[in-house]
Chain A
Amino acid sequence: MTAREADVIVIGGGIMGATTAFFLSRRGRSVLLLERGQTGQQASGVNFGGIRRQGRALSQLAMANRALATWRHAAEWLGEDIEFLPSGHTRVCYHPHDAAYFETYAKEARAFDLELEVLQGEAVFRRFPFLGREVLAASISPLDGHANPRLAAPAFGRAAARMGAQVLENVEIVRVEKEGGGFRVESADGVVYRAAQLVICAGAWADRLSAQFGEPVPLAARGPQMAVTEPVPYVFRSSMGVYTSIKEESVYFRQIPRGNIVLGGGPAGPADADTQRASVLPLNTVRQLAQFRRLVPALAPLHVIRVWSGVESYLPDSEPVIGPSSKQPGLFYAFGFSGSGFQIGPGVGETLAELVDTGSTSIPLEAFSISRFAAQPAVPSECGTS
């Protein structure tokens, strides 16, 4: 048995773990990043790639703003292009109560430094002539946009490694426990790693680790239903999504400058944390396409060239767990982002690194405490739109 040690062990090499390792390394802490497969391979790599602050619970906005600052610096800090494009994000709606909510949300979000422009009626079509005429209102966040999820988490992982972090792939941690003043974690292969502090960012696999510390959570695995079209001339600058309480209507798309349009939304598909498999249900794709024709009728002549999914983790209230353990000092969590983790990831990583390194952070984390699940198993029903 080999033993490996560092100041901090981070379990999970998705966008949360990779950015946590990145910011801890910048703070000069030695880090072991342990990933069961390859960095950014699951939820962080297969999601829509939305860099979207608007629509988040107000309690997430401080961290989402912090994340946006990192996205803006990503090319410089990472030394490579992860295709961050702040070309705007627009929410549209079909129902009057949703249109009214856009105004309310815009007012509330302003207090958190998120400036939104709301258009109603004809003004929507003057700005976005391509939208279907059922659209009633649009809420525009000009500083949001999108990035490439396939590239982001691995790039943060490599950047952390360049600063000295040890990034170990194909290391599946099955046992975590307190040992003396620190933590002992053990892989499926029997390799033991030790650190004074431990951060668990293991996505859909996090609950089986948190449970070993007496903090089980009702985590559910689901798969986003993604698709992409053939490349066509670049015309859709703003990433767009439908805000609605009707799941089937909640589709979203973004076009990348090389021309392909990335599509997603609607009901989630099945995912299995054990087999690490998630699939796109054919009927979901078919119904998603009907919603896209409703949203942008001009999309009808295009073709979908590929669909994909991956394992995402959902919590009953669709809010993540972020912050310290309620049971073990030195233990921290970030998981259960319920389909909305990509944009906020670097903000979470920076905040966790600050918390681990200094013991405190100015970002409020009460809403995301794992203690809220201490005695309330529930069945989740909603999912988000990264």
Chain B
Amino acid sequence: MAARVIVIGAGPAGVRAAQALAGAGLRPTVIDEGRRDGGQIYRRQPEGFSRTYDALYGTEAARAASVHATFDALRSRIDYLPETLVWNISPGMVHLVSGTRYHALKFDALIVCSGATDRLMPVKGWQHAGTYTLGGAQVALKSQGCAVGARTVMMGTGPLLYLVAAQYVKAGAQVCAVLDTSTALQRLRALPALLSIPASLWKGLALMRVLRRAKVPIHRGVRPVEIKGTPQGGVTGVAVKLQDGAMFERACDAVALGYHLRPETQLADLAGCEFHFDEASQQWLPHTDEDGRSSVKGVYLAGDGARVRGADAAERSGRLAALAAMRDAGMAVEGIDTLRAELQRFTRFAAGLRTAFPWPAGLAASVPDDTLVCRCEAITAGELRRVVREAGAREANRAKAFSRVGMGRCQGRYCGHAGAEIIAAAACVPLSAVGRLRGQAPVKPLPMALVEDTCK
């Protein structure tokens, strides 16, 4: 196989894919947006920072060290393009920007390990400065050793809610409250599925102990009401309705929000992969077979960018996709059955997490009219509902064309899910009938200073 193989992403999935390819004597090209490898979860600190693996990654220190060491050892056997964004994909070719330099690379096989970002739900006031995602709050800590605020409230649901809160506490930052939209009952129901990976469950419980010891108020079953603040001064507090109906307010200068994760699927979309509506997670996902083959020949999807199952699963699905690509190219490969079997446990565990921390779909439908849905373009829920009711837009792209929701620089990555819920509720149609926003290049904003690279 003299084939040209490209791996997008140098997180756990991308690193293990590259390792499998290099191990078979291929020389893959690894393209990564980050300045250093590791992805988001195993993000490496900048040169000159000297925190230990334990301090940075806690219970995941050994895994992080293993992924980093693997990548370091691979460097001479791969072509590595850091700080390079794949901004578009055309048949058999990825289009790159590095700084202001444009060039394109041909591929025979492409393994997309694009990772995940926080799934977000609009709440009144979430446009105020000082509102971050949970992932963003974690990046600030991991990368720069910074907290997003002096007094931070963590709100939303999902494992990251407790993980980031505990990491902030350990780092000495003040966490004013953890406000979870999911309930203790939902967690109890998820227990059987969560026991498919007991170690992860214990790690989760350990996080709770950290928060309890630090006396961080934790409320479950909350309904977010408002992030208070001003355009000039930013966030000043958070208000939620507690499970018993009482209002709860807490002063703070930063909020970290997130409702579990959503795969970053724009690259799969630009590559022409087919999507299907996943009832379990209530979102559109690119179709893959068990090993990561997409509907497009030669394009493979792995890690949380295909399906959110966590970093340990990402390592395996990255390797599995690489093996699948090599098998498709006629190479003899081993270990596929083992990886498939291991991944089944993570799939069960991920289903348990969805039960324990469900996406609060109903919240979107009841977001007040004056709440911004699309922060990039400053479009309110009321305006989105208006184009549904008055202009007859009952489909995501039609509503985008009329209202601009999803038309801004994030291209719907942050507002798309909630926007679709609002459209569905206003049009009285099922969420799947609203469809999904069509992916359009560039994946992230492209500099107008872009220059064609003529030295190939």
A residues neighboring B (CB under 8 Å): 38, 45, 150-151, 154, 158, 229-230, 258, 279-283, 285-287, 289-290, 292-293, 299-308
Contact B450–A308 (Cβ < 8 Å): no
Contact B442–A289 (Cβ < 8 Å): no
Contact A307–B440 (Cβ < 8 Å): yes
7 interchain pairs (CB within 8 A)? A150-B401, A154-B402, A282-B104, A287-B452, A289-B450, A304-B446, A304-B447
Contacts A158-B391, A305-B411 known; 16 new A-B pairs at CB < 8 A = A38-B398, A150-B402, A154-B391, A154-B402, A282-B441, A283-B104, A283-B452, A285-B446, A289-B448, A301-B449, A303-B445, A303-B446, A304-B442, A305-B408, A305-B446, A306-B411
Bound Cα distance A38, B387 (Å): 14
Contact B448–A301 (Cβ < 8 Å): yes
B190 within 8 A of partner (CB): no
B451 within 8 A of partner (CB): yes
Chain B residues in 8 Å Cβ range of A151: 401-402
1/0 per residue B406-435: CB within 8 Å of A?
A: 011101000000000000000000000000
Q: Knowing A38-B398, A230-B409, A282-B88 touch, does A293 contact B448 (C-beta < 8 A)?
A: yes
Chain A residues in 8 Å Cβ range of B442: 304-307
Chain A residues in 8 Å Cβ range of B411: 305-306
Q: B449 — nearest CB in chain A belongs to which residue?
A: A300
Chain A residues in 8 Å Cβ range of B449: 289, 293, 300-301
Q: Knowing A305-B408, A308-B440 touch, does A286 contact B402 (C-beta < 8 A)?
A: no
Q: A45 — nearest CB in chain B belongs to which residue?
A: B401
Chain B residues in 8 Å Cβ range of A292: 448
B residues neighboring A (CB under 8 Å): 87-88, 90, 95, 102, 104, 377, 391-392, 398, 401-402, 407-409, 411, 440-442, 445-452
Q: Knowing A45-B401, A282-B104, A289-B450 touch, does A305 contact B445 (C-beta < 8 A)?
A: yes
Chain A residues in 8 Å Cβ range of B441: 280, 282, 285, 306-307
Looking at the assembled complex, report how far the CB atom of B371 sits from the nearest CB atom of chain A, in whole angstroms: 19
Bound Cα distance A300, B441 (Å): 19
Across the interface, A286 reaches (CB within 8 A) one of B102, B401, B445, namely B102
Bound Cα distance A255, B121 (Å): 31
Contact A282–B90 (Cβ < 8 Å): yes
Bound Cα distance A7, B43 (Å): 67
Q: Knowing A282-B88, A282-B104 touch, does A305 contact B409 (C-beta < 8 A)?
A: yes
Chain A residues in 8 Å Cβ range of B445: 230, 303-305
Contact B448–A306 (Cβ < 8 Å): no
Bound Cα distance A60, B445 (Å): 39
Bound Cα distance A307, B402 (Å): 17
Looking at the assembled complex, report how far the CB atom of B275 sits from the nearest CB atom of chain A, in whole angstroms: 16
Bound Cα distance A209, B398 (Å): 27
Chain B residues in 8 Å Cβ range of A285: 441, 446
Chain A residues in 8 Å Cβ range of B409: 230, 303, 305
Chain B residues in 8 Å Cβ range of A158: 391-392
Contact B391–A306 (Cβ < 8 Å): no
Bound Cα distance A134, B385 (Å): 48
Looking at the assembled complex, report how far the CB atom of B393 sits from the nearest CB atom of chain A, in whole angstroms: 9
Q: Knowing A150-B402, A158-B391 touch, does A286 contact B407 (C-beta < 8 A)?
A: no
Q: B451 — nearest CB in chain A belongs to which residue?
A: A290
Q: Knowing A280-B441, A286-B102, A304-B442 touch, does A299 contact B450 (C-beta < 8 A)?
A: no
Chain A residues in 8 Å Cβ range of B392: 158
Chain A residues in 8 Å Cβ range of B95: 282
